[in-house]
Amino acid sequence: MIFVTGGAGFIGANFVLDWLAQVDEPVLNLDKLTYAGNLGNLSPLRNDPRHVFVRGDIGDRKLLQRLLALHRPRAIVNFAAESHVDRSIHGPAEFIDTNVVGTFTLLDAVRAHWSELALAEREAFRFLHVSTDEVYGSLAPDDPAFKESTGYAPNSPYSASKAASDHLVRAYHHTYGLPTLTTHCSNNYGPLQFPEKLIPLMIVNALAGKPLPVYGDGRNVRDWLYVGDHCAALRMVLAKGRVGQTYNIGGNAERANIDVVQTICRVLGKHAAARDYGSLVTFVQDRPGHDRRYAIDATKIRTEFGWLPAETFESGLARTVKWYLDHSEWLRAVTSKEYQNWISLNYAEAEA
């Protein structure tokens, strides 16, 4: 079996659902169920014996030791993290606890387990660490896109904590020979994304007739990767990646934030009861330290494995908007009191 961490969050849950639909290999899923983790994301697997869910922390070494000894996974896929830049600005400590110390604890428990395996199992073992393009820092408009060789220059507490975890993964390969793989993906979007991130937040606010808060001048650029394409790339890296290597994964879809928001308004205008969603766009005070541009050069994964994203930004966004329109129950469940508190905290300060 494979051992997934953070598999009740956005990308992790999509990965587990896709994995069990396409690869008939059981999954052990460890997730702390923070505000971002939601068992409802995994409800199609409620009666599936191939999915074993454990609520727990990647920083709990004893629990990790027990799970590794009991289930003897052949691979780890580490999604567990605090993942939202704005939250890392308001409260960085949890980012250090989970992303740095938690990843260290996971790596070290896995190393101890791995080093006791028979040679063939040790060689076949993989530790896939899911990181971000944000560790590379911010690009000027004409800079070339991030390559795997681009130097690290993280700018937010979130990206700095992910960079620290990447360095630990690298060191565990270099020093102990742990067979690691690290991926750097761009901004994911798609079903099951918690509505604190740009795309689902804009969909949810638009449907509620609330302002669409665009930071700064709205010209910050992100590359957008449909989550299903990301999961397909991760399966390829896990199967074929060369140990100790890093792989960039991008959607080939650089867009300025304001263009993303206007596209969402247009797509929504076709689906829901017509209204002028565009008039809800509101420019608000910028995020401190806001990175201007991210862009991914995915040549390596394309040439080594033939991976390409199947979705364009337009097709992926249309699927995503439809998913949110069709899942109002899921949205009601995740937009709890804690969510409302976060919105009040973040956007009260952001109002220009």
Based on the shown chain and the rule CB under 6 A, indicate whether residue 220 belongs to the binding site for ligand TYD.
yes
Binding segment (CB under 6 A) for ligand TYD, from list 30-38, 106-114, 194-202, 311-319: 194-202
Q: Which one of 78, 161, 246, 257 is in contact with ligand TYD (CB under 6 A)?
A: 257
**Residue 201 Cβ, how far from ligand TYD at the closest point, in Å?**
5
What does the angle CA 247 – CA 29 – CA 135 come to, to the nearest 5 degrees?
30
Orientation of helix 198-207 relative to helix 313-326, angle to 10°? 50
Among 19-27, 161-169, 209-217, 310-318, the segment contacting ligand TYD (CB under 6 A): 209-217
130 binds ligand NAD (CB under 6 A): yes
Reading across the β-sheet that carries 254-256, which strands appear in turn? 187-189, 221-226, 254-256
* Active-site annotation holds for 176: no
Task: Copy the structure tokens of residue 151.
Answer: 């130097």
Angle at 53 between CA 52 and CA 54, to 5 degrees: 120
Check residue 192 for interaction with ligand TYD (CB under 6 A): no
- Toward ligand TYD, which CB reaches closer, 187 or 246? 187
Between the two ends of the chain, the Cα-to-Cα distance in Å is: 51
CB of 213 to ligand TYD, least distance (A): 5
Binding mask 172-191 for ligand TYD (x = CB under 6 A): ---------------x----
Question: How far is it, in rounded angstroms, from Cα 199 to Cα 182?
Answer: 26
Taking the CB of residue 145, how many other CB atoms lie within 10 A of it? 21
Question: Rule CB under 6 A: is residue 201 a binding residue for ligand TYD?
Answer: yes
The entry of ligand NAD, ligand TYD, none near residue 6 (CB within 5 to 8 angstroms by kind) is ligand NAD
Active site residue 158: yes
Minimum gap (Å) between residue 339 Cβ and ligand NAD: 13
Which one, 104 or 125, has the nearer CB to ligand NAD?
104
DSSP-assigned states of every residue in 150-188: SPP---SHHHHHHHHHHHHHHHHHHHH---EEEEEE-EE
Structural contact between residues 151 and 184, judged by C-beta atoms closer than 8 angstroms? no
Query: Is 105 an interacting residue with respect to ligand NAD (CB under 6 A)?
Result: no
Would you call 339 a catalytic residue per the annotation?
no
128, exposed or middle or buried, with CB in 10 Å at 0-12, 13-18, 19+? buried
Tokens of 285: 């005070």
* Backbone phi, psi, residue 75, to 5°: -155, 150
- The alpha helices in 72-156, defined as continuous H runs, are 85-90, 93-95, 103-115, 119-124
Residue with Cβ nearer ligand NAD (188 or 346): 188
Under a CB-based contact definition with an 8 Å cutoff, are residues 215 and 286 in contact? yes
Token couple for 234: 């991760």
Structure tokens at 115: 């080093």
From the list ligand NAD, ligand TYD, none, which binds 9 (C-beta under 5 to 8 Å, kind-based)?
ligand NAD
Using rule CB under 6 A, residue 198 touches ligand TYD: yes
**Stretch 143-172 residues interacting with ligand TYD (CB under 6 A):** none
- Please identify which residue in 16, 26, 53, 59 interacts with ligand NAD, judged by CB under 6 A: 59
Per CB under 6 A, residues contacting ligand NAD are 5-6, 8-12, 30-34, 36-37, 57-59, 79-81, 83, 98, 102, 130, 132, 162, 185, 187-188, 194
Name the residues annotated as catalytic.
133-134, 158
Per CB under 6 A, residues contacting ligand TYD are 85, 187, 197-198, 201, 213-215, 220, 222, 257, 287
